[in-house]
Amino acid sequence: MGRFDRLKERAKELQGQFVEWRRHFHQYPEVGLELPETEKFVAERLKEMGLEVRTGVAGHGVVAVLKGSKPGPTMAIRADMDALNLKEETGLPFASKIEGRMHACGHDAHTAIALGAAKLLSEIASELAGNVKFIFQPAEEGPGGAKPMIEDGALENPKVDAIIGLHTGCLWDYEKTGEVFVSYGPMMACMDRIDVTIKGKGAHGATPHKSVDSISVASHAISAVQTVISREVNPLEPVVVTIGKIQGGTAYNIISQEVSFEGTVRALKQDIRELLDERIGGIIKGVASGMRAEVDYIYTYGYPPLSNDPEFTKRFVKVATEILGKDMVKEIPEPSMGGEDMAYFLNEVPGTFFFLAGCKEVDGQIHPHHNPKFDVDENVLWEGALLLSATVIDFLSN
């Protein structure tokens, strides 16, 4: 008999409860940092399991501790709880009851899975040597809840020695629901932002020599910024600079005095991130100066790159393979240039963040994350809870 067989059977027995929790969260989505009802529901379930629960962490975050019967290390499980400002179009019988809000990224499943892990582990607390900390986080979709939770002591008392989290859905291509994808290092990119305002001199469109054309300056600057990627970053390093918004001008025959544009910057390494800040700013300022314009340039550091601890990931892969079989555990083909603020936790504590494959068809097709028809395959719920619980047991037993 395998060491996790009993746990696996119990996870399957509790699948109906996990589905019920997930559907509750799906029907009552809350966004950003304001998650009072979700916080209350999660805290009540954890208290019913006998955990020590702290609410109001960095607003509406929840931190709960399960103490084993013997002293030992502390491992954390992290789940994000927030939804999106999006009108649901799935037609599901448990669709969102809050107009204009929807769980379209799987966080309802993540929360249910983490609650499931708490249920499984609470039933065998007498067999554990150490502690398990459960971190339920708001605002992963923005403005970010991980950093304020860390600042509010989420990783202390007791001090966390390792951490694990997951994302479900269809971030990477997969063949079977329930496949596990891992990375032994960089997995997701930073989420930085640039805000630029070009200030020139307005004039009539028929007298360009009397102007400093801010639209022309902005056009040259936007084009020139891409040379940072093509000429200043190693071509083997994934980097993205995307200008997503530009605004300026008042009429077709007036040369605009001012233009603003905004963009996102993605990279997998901190040193490259810092290089991009320096060089993007330098190029934009240089172009503006050369064309007699002024510029306001702001680079905002968002979520950092997410990178897994290689040794802990190896340990997780061993557990996942033992439970699911070698064919169900795979390495991601390439990192994602999307961002995740689980990165803040992994910058503080060794651990891993893995992908649990599972999207469900709506209207005959799979819809991506942040789509109004996105849905999660609920068959991943028991498996996710099992993987988290088994990894905790393995870590505490060693």
Catalytic residue list = 82, 140
The residue behind tokens 């960095």 is: 58
Which tokens go with 291? 């064309």
Pick the closest to residue 79 from 38, 130, 122, 37 (CA basis). 38
Residue 93 and residue 255: Cα distance in Å, rounded?
Answer: 54
CA angle 266/271/277 to nearest 5° reads: 60
DSSP assignment string, 45-100: HHHHTT-EEEEEETTTEEEEEEE-SEEEEEEEEEEE--BBS-------TT--SSTT
Q: Strand, coil or helix: what is 145?
A: coil
Show the beta-strand stretches assigned E in the chain: 52-57, 61-67, 70-80, 129-137, 162-169, 180-182, 186-188, 192-199, 203-204, 239-248, 254-255, 258-267, 294-300, 306-307, 329-331, 351-357
Which tokens go with 144? 């970010």
Please give the helix or strand (H or E) that residue 113 lies within, else none. helix 107-122
**250 class by beta-carbon count within 10 Å (0-12 exposed, 13-18 middle, 19+ buried):** exposed
CB neighbourhood size of 245 (10 A): 9
